[in-house]
């Protein structure tokens, strides 16, 4: 239902609208319902990409172009409701990246924030501001805005991860900056594991400033997140909508790991059916373990490990894990919370 009834266009009004258009003016009353909707209206559609389809296509790209020539060899997961937009949701970008054994993806930096979620392969590294971290399946790795970063694969197998970036947010604000590094790789200045030891052990260096907007931890290893879920599941305190869901946080301020993107890991027991839930943060999910299906705005999507699916803003989501399942997800929730516009609803009527 529209907010107002759009006024009729009389010949006299039409002449007036044509006249003012030439002076860069437009009558609000004719577009009011497009600008202000009762509930979110989005071009973003629910969709699922099967890893079984994605992997061979990504490996095929591996034979077509090198990581160095491509800068980043990525297949963008583009929402079918927003073709050619480079978007998986209205505010977020996602893609699957391949780095083959022996390859490097050269160093650069940009004002966009990036996350990596490791899907396949074990042992490639990403370097952020002088420290390399080894990437293992299920690891959540971040690249803060304006941090130099490069990737390399010294393992013997292809490495595939999902990238999530806030590219559309920066486009919206016209705030994109980027630059290449002078060489291929940045120098290594810290030992691997330094940031996790310094900031990821529930301690901080004694005089370290609090309140930075980006987490100084840049790899949240799956072994640790999985162990937390395993311990907590014994408590049997299931949230009806989320099962057991944890958020990756910045230890300097307790907020999301990055200022614009929230990321989560959740465990759903076999046979659990979540209560209908909707929220204004369109969300990208990837199952790390398990299989099942989810209904998104009434449409069923069967999923297995490593698939990627997307739920638009305000679409009602219900998860039906068939086996015990672990889902990784990310959204712009923290960005909306900072702006005071985040909304969520449990058990909506249309669920």
**Which residues lie near ligand 1HN (CB under 6 A)?**
72, 74, 95, 97, 105, 110, 114, 149, 151, 163, 165, 167
Residue 159 or 326 with smaller CB distance to ligand 1HN? 159
Helix segments in 94-193, DSSP class H: 167-172
Task: Give the DSSP H/E element, type plus range, for residue 287.
Answer: strand 283-289
- Rounded to a whole number of angstroms, the minimum distance from the CB of residue 72 to ligand 1HN is 4
In the numeric block, which tokens belong to residue 140? Answer: 């959540």
Using CB atoms within 10 Å of the CB of residue 142, give its burial: 0 to 12 exposed, 13 to 18 middle, 19+ buried: buried
- Rounded to a whole number of angstroms, the minimum distance from the CB of residue 147 to ligand 1HN is 10
Residue 163 or 324 with smaller CB distance to ligand 1HN? 163
CA Rg, the chain, in Å? 22
Residue 167 or 217 with smaller CB distance to ligand 1HN? 167
- Adjacency order of strands within the sheet including 47-49: 47-49, 308-311, 283-289, 325-331, 262-268, 244-247
Contact of 257 with 249, CB cutoff 8 Å = yes
Which residues, in sequence order, are bridge partners of residue 165?
93, 114
In the numeric block, which tokens belong to residue 23? Answer: 């002076």
In the numeric block, which tokens belong to residue 288? Answer: 């790390």
Could you write out the DSSP letters of every residue in 313-336?
TT--EEEEESS-EEEEEEESHHHH
Angstrom CA distances, 246 to 211, 259, 266, 293, 315, stand at 21, 17, 6, 21, 21
Residue 40 or 137 with smaller CB distance to ligand 1HN? 137
Contact of 268 with 290, CB cutoff 8 Å = yes
Task: State in Å, rounded, how far the first CA of the chain is from the last one.
Answer: 19
Which residues, in sequence order, are bridge partners of residue 183?
none
Residue 88 or 105 with smaller CB distance to ligand 1HN? 105
Residue 97 or 153 with smaller CB distance to ligand 1HN? 97
Residue 229 or 310 with smaller CB distance to ligand 1HN? 310
Residue 97 or 215 with smaller CB distance to ligand 1HN? 97
List phi, psi (to 5°) of 52.
-60, -30
């Amino acid at each position: 239902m529209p907010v107002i009834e759009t006024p009729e266009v009389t010949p006299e009004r039409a002449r007036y609208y044509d006249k003012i258009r030439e002076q860069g003016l437009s009558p609000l009353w004719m577009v009011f319902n497009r600008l202000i909707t009762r509930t979110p209206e989005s071009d973003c559609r629910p969709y699922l990409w099967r890893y079984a389809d994605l992997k061979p296509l990504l490996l095929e790209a591996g034979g077509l172009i090198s990581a160095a020539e491509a800068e980043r060899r990525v297949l963008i997961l583009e929402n079918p409701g927003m073709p050619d937009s480079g978007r998986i949701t209205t505010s977020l970008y996602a893609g699957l990246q391949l780095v083959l054994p022996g390859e490097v993806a050269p160093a650069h930096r940009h004002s966009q924030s990036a996350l990596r979620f490791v899907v396949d392969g074990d042992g490639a590294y990403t370097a952020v501001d002088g420290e390399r971290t080894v990437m293992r399946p299920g690891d959540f790795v971040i690249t803060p805005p304006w941090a130099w970063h490069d990737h390399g694969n010294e393992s013997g197998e292809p490495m595939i991860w999902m990238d999530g970036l806030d590219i559309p947010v920066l486009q919206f604000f016209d705030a994109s900056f980027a630059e290449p590094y002078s060489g291929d790789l940045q120098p290594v200045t810290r030992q691997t594991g330094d940031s996790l030891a310094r900031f990821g052990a529930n301690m901080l260096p004694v005089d370290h400033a609090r309140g930075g907007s980006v987490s100084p931890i840049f790899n949240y290893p799956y072994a640790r997140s999985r162990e937390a879920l395993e311990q907590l599941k014994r408590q049997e305190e299931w949230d009806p909508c989320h099962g057991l869901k944890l958020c990756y946080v910045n230890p300097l301020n307790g907020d999301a790991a990055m200022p614009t993107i929230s990321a989560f890991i959740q465990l759903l027991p076999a046979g659990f059916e979540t209560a209908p839930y909707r929220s204004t943060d369109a969300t990208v999910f990837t199952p790390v373990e398990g299989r099942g299906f989810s209904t998104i705005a009434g449409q069923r999507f069967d999923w297995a490990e490593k698939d990627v699916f997307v739920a638009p803003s305000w679409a009602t989501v219900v998860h039906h894990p068939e086996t015990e399942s672990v889902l990784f997800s990310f959204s712009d929730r923290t960005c909306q919370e900072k702006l005071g516009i985040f909304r969520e609803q449990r058990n909506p009527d249309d669920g």
